[in-house]
Structure 1
Amino acid sequence: MGVIQILERRLVAKQARPSPDGLTDGLAGALRKEIAKVVEAEVAKALTGHQAALRAAQPLRPVHSPSPDLERRLRALERRAAPPLKAPEVSIQRDGAGLARAIVINGQRLLIQRDASGLMTRWVPDDGSHRLPSYGPAPINRR
């Protein structure tokens, strides 16, 4: 049985019987008042329960400031952040004939090796550990 039905029965018992057309104005007003009381009581009960749950949950989370541990971890992450990327600095060094002889990328010099026809074959670091062939044919190691 619903709340409205219970209230209707109470009101009918207290006041005059309703007319066959429906509830009288006085009975309808009293019914609205009773419904409002019941709804207010239910809302107050629910609100009290929500407030108690909120009070119980508040100690679980910091309200005003983050924890010192979290701040420490965030500062450590900021320190570890990589520096911003920048475009590489590149320059090309040419020989007397205008052919590219070397390229310098961010201060590291790479020499260009060419085959017998003058085509570029590879880049090698300019650290003295390699041997640039002459513009003639590459020596063949035969045993």
Structure 2
Amino acid sequence: MSGQYQKNAIAIDFSELSLKAFERAINVANNYGATLLLVHVVDTKSFGSIAAYDLDFAEKLMKESNTKLEELKSKAEQAGVSKVEVVVKEGSSKKILIELPDVDLIVCGAMGTNQIEKMFIGSVAERIARLAPCEVLIVR
């Protein structure tokens, strides 16, 4: 089946809900024959004091995240998704996720790993739902 969802992004922060959203994104990609874009954002503003001690911290996180996403890519391909892409970016996940080019659907967990932001629906999910130029699926 092909249709309106040709390129779907899944926001991965490796939390339990993002991994549940990943499973849902696989199903949607398979149902629509869509490309699945696995996106992880290393939120550099959240570890400013660490960077003062370890200048390579962001680079290490980027490399580790890329390795984990490659594992998820293999899992998606084994589940039948024919085209899977991996993107690891540095910056604000709230900004990067709503600015992904040519995406028809963004799938994300209702809450991520940020402890303070867990008090609400999840500020990243809420912002994506309000500002994304495409449809959004929030998974609980």
Q: TM-score normalized by structure 2?
A: 0.22
**Larger strand proportion, structure 1 or 2?**
2
Answer 1 or 2: which has greater helix percent. 2
TM-score normalized by the length of structure 1:
0.22
